[in-house]
Amino acid sequence: MSSGDHLIIFDTTLRDGEQSPGASMTREEKVRIARALERLRVDIIEAGFPAASRGDFESVRAVAETIRDSRVCGLARANEADIDRAGEAVAPAAAGRIHTFIATSPVHMEKKLQLTPDQVVERAVAAVSRARNLCDDVEFSPEDAGRSEPDFLCRIIEAAIDAGATTINIPDTVGYNLPEQFAGLIKDLLQRIPNAHRAVWSAHCHNDLGLAVANSLAAFGEGVRQIECTINGLGERAGNAALEEIVMAVRTRQDEFPCDTRIEAKELLPTSRLVANITGFQVQPNKAIVGVNAFAHESGIHQDGVLKHRETYEIMRAEDVGWGTNRMVLGKHSGRNAFRARCEELGIRFDSAGQLNEAFQRFKELADKKHEIFDEDLQALATEAAVALEEDQAVTLVAFRCCSETGETPVADLTLLVDGNEQQNSAAGDGPVDAAFKAIDGILGVRAELLLYSVNNITSGTDAQGEVTVRLERGGRVVNGQGADTDIVIASAKAYLNALNRLRNTGERTHPQAEGV
Ligand SMILES: CC(=O)SCCNC(=O)CCNC(=O)[C@H](O)C(C)(C)COP(=O)(O)OP(=O)(O)OC[C@H]1O[C@@H](n2cnc3c(N)ncnc32)[C@H](O)[C@@H]1OP(=O)(O)O
Ligand SMILES: CC(C)C(=O)C(=O)O
Ligand SMILES: [Mg+2]
């Protein structure tokens, strides 16, 4: 719990994070998240604003009673009642903190507090002194410091340290600052305030301009040793600096920073998921560190690079932040190397370059129709490709159109390539599949009995491939045919043709059951 020479991570998910409209948490939920934060080894957990409500007081107290390895903090305005309530709430903690604040920008002092700067200094000093009588660890924040006058900040911060503040937190409350400007403010305050060295300095940045993490890191570069942040960047308006981004930026770029955090990074993903599930604020896929795509590669050139040497396209290891591993997503941007590697992992071997090419071609065609290709899709593709190569597909589907309207008889219109010649036919049927089969029969003039027709979706989702199996019987011979497509009527036509081709190729076969369904 001591600050030592590491960067102190002050997590405010349960206080500022909870201020996101719609993110309110119950006491039990706060305790669950606090436990996760303790496993993550955050130094300080700001558990709530005890004066806000009885429920929040009880939540902060429950967290203080439960957590042993992180300091537990409660927020309080600069008034007696709030401070006493915060002191009472954190009293059971193994290590507690009272965090008191008052706004220092001209607009906040004049319009919101309706106090003069002298009155604000007076309240800040009284608040810090009162808090110090209740707790030996007191943090003071000049709210809206990012828009406050530096001279006034120097005055009030010096007074707060003299009154007993052990941490001075500089908030960019409305996310207005730019990184260089915020770093400049920190540097200026540290140089000009004579007793600055008696407190730990902290940054608390908001993300209104998407700069919360950048501003926090810039402040770290200028001497702050505590950063206030939240899991998934949850927080008031556009949120706070994201804890996982701060932690991994500092760890990954130790060449740029003076020290590291104590965070157990493998807990980042589980904690992110817990907070997302409890608050209902799901993380965007491209969110750094914890987004589902943060360690996923779909482009062939990237996949090829990562397969050859991970560091070509990854600056962190997925495993280090709680993911099982990085992820190769097969889609239309993927190349042969990733395709073959995944197939090999699934035990699919290609005996020849021709077989690989055939399967890869089919994979690209499918990928044009489907967002993501799953393992089951690959299995189906590999089977189809093998069948296509090993069998004489004398009849193939060239084009297909089907009109199906409420109250109207469905009509299928298709073109087949039969022994090298294109032939077209239309037919009506009881349903689109029946119409398709009849149109095929019309061209081929075959009479086979349909013994079985079944459809399975290979993967989930409305863009999933449907896999159709048909079983045909003619003259005592029984064959099965399979077809897969994102359109199940086309999958049906393919399966029917596959079976008809087999009937042609297995003219002499008498044990069709061996094929199984
Ligand atoms: C930047 C931040 O994140 S600050 C924290 C923001 N979080 C919250 O506000 C969540 C918890 N808040 C609450 O539950 C309520 O606002 C309470 C219980 C704190 C106060 O409720 P109310 O007494 O009804 O006051 P209300 O919220 O309407 O107005 C805030 C009052 O606090 C005053 N105030 C605001 N900040 C401070 C401060 N740091 N120190 C002293 N007084 C303050 C305002 O000037 C206003 O005073 P007024 O009533 O005399 O005009
Ligand atoms: C209470 C303070 C630190 C705050 O949340 C802010 O200014 O954003
Ligand atoms: Mg804030």
Domain count across the chain: 3
pLDDT greater than 80 at residue 166: yes
Can you tell me the mean pLDDT for 351-369? 87
Residues 318 and 405 in one domain: no
pLDDT at 155 over 50: yes
Tell me how far the alpha carbon of residue 491 is from its chain's centroid: 34
Predicted TM-score of the model (pTM):
0.82
Average pLDDT of the residues in 388-398? 74
* CA 236–ligand 3 middle distance (angstroms): 7
Which residues form ligand 2's pocket by a CB distance below 6 Å?
A: 16, 75, 101, 141, 143, 169, 171, 173, 204, 206
Q: Whose CA is nearest to atom 18 of ligand 1?
A: 52
Co-location of 61 and 143 in the same domain? yes
511 belongs to an annotated ligand binding site: no
Shared domain for 407 and 380, answered yes or no, is no
**Average pLDDT for residues 126-142, to the nearest whole number?**
98
Given this model, what pLDDT does residue 386 score? 63
The overall longest dimension of the chain from CA atoms, in Å, is: 103
Write down the pLDDT at residue 122: 98
Which pLDDT tens digit goes with each residue over 57-74?
999 999 999 999 999 999
Looking up tokens 């962190």, which residue turns up? 316
287 part of a folded domain: no
Domain stop point among 387, 414, 438:
387
Q: Any idea what the CATH number is for the domain that residue 509 is in?
A: 3.30.160.270
**Cα dist. 173→185, 208, 237, 240, 349 in Å?**
14, 9, 11, 9, 58
Going by alpha carbons, the residue nearest to atom 7 of ligand 1 is: 19
Question: What tokens does 30 get?
Answer: 């706060």
Please tell me whether residues 477 and 379 are part of one structural domain. no
Residue-level pLDDT at 394: 79
Tell me, yes or no, whether 102 lies in a domain: yes
Give, using CA atoms, the residue closest to atom 6 of ligand 2. Answer: 173
pLDDT at position 352 is 85
Q: Is 180 found in the same domain as 43?
A: yes
Which tokens sit at 15?
């206080």
| CATH code of 67's domain | 3.20.20.70
Domain identity same for 169 and 275 = yes
Q: Which of 19, 20, 77 should be mutated for ligand 1, with most atoms under 8 A from CB? A: 77
Looking at the structure, do residues 357 and 404 belong to the same domain, yes or no? no
- Of 55-59, 262-266, 322-326, 344-348, where does mean pLDDT reach its minimum? 344-348
User: What letter represents residue 317's amino acid?
Assistant: R
CA distance 270 to 266: 8
Looking up tokens 């607009």 gives 107
> Where among 387, 407, 436 does a domain terminate?
387
In the predicted structure, residue 486 carries a pLDDT above the cut 50: yes
Q: Whose CA is nearest to atom 12 of ligand 1?
A: 52
**Final residue belonging to a domain, choices 225, 252, 279:** 279
Q: Is 337 a known ligand-binding residue?
A: no
Do 80 and 188 fall within a single domain?
yes
438 and 383 within one domain = no
Which helix (H) or strand (E) covers residue 71, if one does? strand 71-77
Residue 3 lies in a domain: no
355: domain range? 296-387
Same domain, 183 and 40: yes
Shared domain for 316 and 465, answered yes or no, is no
Give dist(CA 243, CA 213) in Å, integer: 9
Q: Please indicate, yes or no, if residue 266 is contained in any of the structural domains.
A: yes
Across the chain, mean pLDDT equals 92
Query: Whose C-alpha lies nearest to ligand 1, atom 5?
Result: 16
Q: What are phi and psi of 300, to 5 degrees?
A: -55, -40
418 CB under 6 A from ligand 1?
A: no
Any domain includes 1: no
Is residue 305 within 8 Å of residue 281, measured between CB atoms?
A: no
At 462 the pLDDT is 76
Kindly state the percentage of the chain with pLDDT values over 90: 78
Residue 191 lies in a domain: yes
Is residue 78 included in any domain, yes or no?
yes
CB atoms within 10 A of CB 125: 19
The answer to whether the CB of 186 falls within 8 A of the CB of 203 is yes
Check if 29 has its Cβ closer than 6 Å to any atom of ligand 1.
Answer: no
- Angle (nearest 5°) at CA 81 between 61 and 84: 45
pLDDT value of residue 388: 63
Find how far residue 327's CA is from the centre of its chain. Answer: 13
Helix, strand or coil, per DSSP, at residue 72? strand
Query: Given the CA of residue 82, which atom of ligand 1 is nearest to it?
Result: 19
Query: pLDDT tens-digit profile of 204-226?
Result: 999 999 999 999 999 999 999 99
Residue 289 lies inside a defined structural domain of this protein:
no
User: Stretch 419-438: mean pLDDT, rounded?
Assistant: 94
Can you tell me whether residue 357 is helix, strand or coil? helix
Q: How far is the CA of 257 from the centre of ligand 2 (A)?
A: 25
- Mean pLDDT within 139-148: 98
pLDDT reported for residue 372: 81
Same domain? 173 vs 264: yes
- What ipTM score was computed for the predicted complex, to two decimals? 0.99
